[in-house]
Amino acid sequence: MASALRSFRRKILVPDVKETKLETRGFWLKNAASKELLETVGEYFLAGYGYAVESRTVEEAELLLEEVPARFRGFAYEGAGMGFAILDCMTFGNLRRTSAFLRGRGHHHNYMVYVGIGWAMARLPRFLWPKPAPLDPLLLWLVHDGYGFHQAYFHTERYVHQQAEETGFSWPRGQEEYAAHAIDQGIGRALWFVAGTSAEQAVTLVERFPERRHADLYSGIGLAATYAGGADEAELRWLRERAGAHRGPLAQGSVFAAEARLRAGLLFPHTESAVGILCGTTAEEAAGISRATRPTTTAQDWPPAYERWRRRIAEMFVFHGGVPS
């Protein structure tokens, strides 16, 4: 009976995999390789989501997640973060399962798990949203990033083509102004998917947004291009040059991607290549910059510590062919 209930729970909570197909989403089709890459990312994200909502325990889900091919394992952990957060919020558990996940193997994928919480919040009515108290006050802005990605991915016409801006996002309370920036960073990540990993299409989409939003959008693109991949070296060099004044935020996103992959032990050649072009360093050096500049205090003044961290990284990169200062 318990097994049947878990299967039913998965059936009603987990979207059909066809929702990840580029044709379904109406995303740009660059080539067959990029199409396969992005659809595989979506499939493993949903697999991780399913493992979380169907497993009896966090540990059972972790065993399944560890079987996912290494290149896509981080996306599965992101999906599991969404799944555990959905279950927690629907049962008023205030992130009980999610916190246990972050203390277990999810600790190595904490950036992805936080993003997954944002996906969950995008799917839930606001009265079910979790309290931010259990979360790291520095990393909780990745929740907004996940929310922004979800909205741009599933509501592309409104958030990408009409450039809708999220306002009044009062979570945590009193931080509405910065929440819009963090959400734009997630929208920027989604642009890489909407553009089918085409740097030219991604930049075309960015340039339709108001200039004041470009830095956050380029940061998201840098993260997605480095973590997910899909562009060759010539495209990445073109992207770096076209970013112009926003090369620093582009590099900052790439640095965060390098740190996320290295923390999880999932470094692949496409990440090393992207970091080399967008940052002018190795992935190990980029991750070291992220760790060295991470704030030791997270008092929620203005700008938040998370934004000061991002700016410090961006300002370390003065580009002339991708050379860090």
Q: Could you tell me if residue 196 is inside a domain? A: yes
Distances (CA, A) of 159 to 38, 96, 319: 20, 31, 30
d(CA 87, CA 55): 11
What are the residues whose beta carbons fall under 8 Å from the beta carbon of 105, sequence distance 6 or more? 62, 65, 66
Instruction: Report the 10 Å Cβ neighbour count for 318.
Output: 12
Q: What is the mean pLDDT of residues 195-223?
A: 98
- Of the candidates 231, 257, 250, the one whose C-alpha atom is nearest the C-alpha of residue 317 is 250
Q: Could you tell me if residue 221 is inside a domain? A: yes
Q: Which domain holds residue 70?
A: 2-315
In the predicted structure, residue 170 carries a pLDDT above the cut 90: no
pLDDT band at 297 (very low <50, low <70, confident <90, very high): confident
Instruction: Report the 10 Å Cβ neighbour count for 201.
Output: 17
Q: What is the pLDDT of residues 249-274, one digit of tens each?
A: 999 999 999 999 999 999 999 999 99
Contact 119, 150 (CB under 8 A): yes
d(CA 207, CA 179): 21
Instruction: Report the 10 Å Cβ neighbour count for 88.
Output: 23
Specify the pLDDT at position 177.
87
Q: What is the pLDDT of residues 113-147, one digit of tens each?
A: 999 999 999 999 999 999 999 999 999 999 999 99
DSSP type of residue 160: I
Round to the nearest angstrom and report the end-to-end CA distance of the chain: 61
Q: Could you tell me if residue 325 is inside a domain? A: no
In the predicted structure, residue 227 carries a pLDDT above the cut 70: yes
Q: Could you tell me if residue 324 is inside a domain? A: no
What does the block give as tokens for 29? Answer: 């089709």
- Of the candidates 150, 231, 163, the one whose C-alpha atom is nearest the C-alpha of residue 189 is 150
- Our count of domains for the chain comes to 1
Specify the pLDDT at position 173.
84
Q: What is the pLDDT of residues 52-63, one digit of tens each?
A: 999 999 999 999
What are the residues whose beta carbons fall under 8 Å from the beta carbon of 174, sequence distance 6 or more? 300
In the predicted structure, residue 8 carries a pLDDT above the cut 50: no
pLDDT band at 167 (very low <50, low <70, confident <90, very high): confident
Contact 141, 306 (CB under 8 A): yes
